[in-house]
Structure 1
Amino acid sequence: MKSCLIVDDSSVIRKVARRILEDMDFIVDEAEDGQEAYEKCAQEMPDVILLDWQMPIMSGLEFLKTLRGYTGGDKPKIVYCLAERDIGHIAMARKAGANDHMLKPFDQQTLESKFQPFV
């Protein structure tokens, strides 16, 4: 089974995403911010990461840049999650190493379409 780390400061987003991803047979873990996510990745690197843009302590972009510079940090597929379609933010995320992006709020069909290739 593939593993997924959901990184978002919203407990509601984490809960919804967890339910959908577990139904897709992912082993799911959660982090509330980029720092916690980085610590979890240092212990065990997930296959896929659902990453929020704006979080306290360490933003999604800071986490992404830090992770991609870490040994083995190039391996996880990362889907960046934004609250609005900002081409500049999307471009920065792609340049930093994000594989894909999607907008919040998302529904089951959208999340499944982004993660189906990783199953």
Structure 2
Amino acid sequence: MQRLMIADASDVVRKVARRILSELGFTVTDFADAQDALVGCLTELPDFLIVDAGMAGALELIAGIRAMPGGKAVRIYYCVIESDLKKLMAGKRAGATDFLLKPFNRKILTTVFGNFAAAA
């Protein structure tokens, strides 16, 4: 089973995403801040990570994971509220694999992650 981690300060976003992604077949963990997520990654790296761009320490979390042994294999989705080129480029420079626009829903998460869950 594929492991997916959500790092987002919003309880509602984490709860909704956890439910949808669990239904798709992922083992989901979630953290409310970047530091706790980084510590969680030291225990076990996820296969996928969704990081909220608005969360304090988001870019440091991405860079920290990329610096870990095996961290380059993690597919990191930098979650932004709007298509702000400066924010997108900062995420890409830190090591984000791709981007997600917020707010997301079941259809978006299924489209983005459904094939990965089915491949596991």
TM-score by length of 2: 0.91
Size of the alignment, in residue pairs? 117
In 2, the alpha carbon distance for the partners of 1:55 and 1:116 equals 25
* Preserved CA contact (<8 Å) 2:60 2:94: no
Please say if residues 48 and 118 of structure 1, whose CA atoms lie closer than 8 Å, have aligned partners that are also in contact. Answer: no
* 1:76 paired residue number: 74
Counterparts of 1:1-119 in structure 2, within 5 Å, are 1-56=1-56, 59-119=57-117
Unaligned runs of 5+ in 1: none
Would the aligned equivalents of 2:2 and 2:27 in 1 still touch at CA under 8 Å? yes
> Offset at 1:90?
0.8
Output the CA distance in 2 between the equivalents of 1:46 and 1:93: 18
3-state SS in 2 of match to 1:74:
helix
Deviation at 1:117, TM superposition (A): 3.8
1-structure distance, mates of 2:30, 2:90 = 24
> How many Å separate the matches in 1 of 2:58 and 2:70?
18
Aligned counterparts of 2:115 and 2:100: Cα–Cα separation in 1: 15
- The Cα offsets for residues 26-62 of structure 1, whole Å up to 9 and x where unpaired, read as 0000111110010000001111011111224xx2111
Q: Which amino acid in 1 is paired with 2:91? A: A
Deviation at 1:104, TM superposition (A): 0.8
The one-letter code matched in structure 2 to 1:115 is: F
Amino acid corresponding to residue 96 of structure 1 in structure 2: A
* Percent identity between the two aligned chains: 38
What CA distance in whole angstroms lies between the structure 1 residues aligned with 2:111 and 2:63? 25
Alpha-carbon distance in structure 1 between the residues aligned to 2:14 and 2:91 = 20
Runs of 4+ more than 4 Å apart:
none
Checking the alignment, whether the CA contact within 8 Å between 1:4 and 1:29 is kept in structure 2 is yes
Higher relative helix content: 2
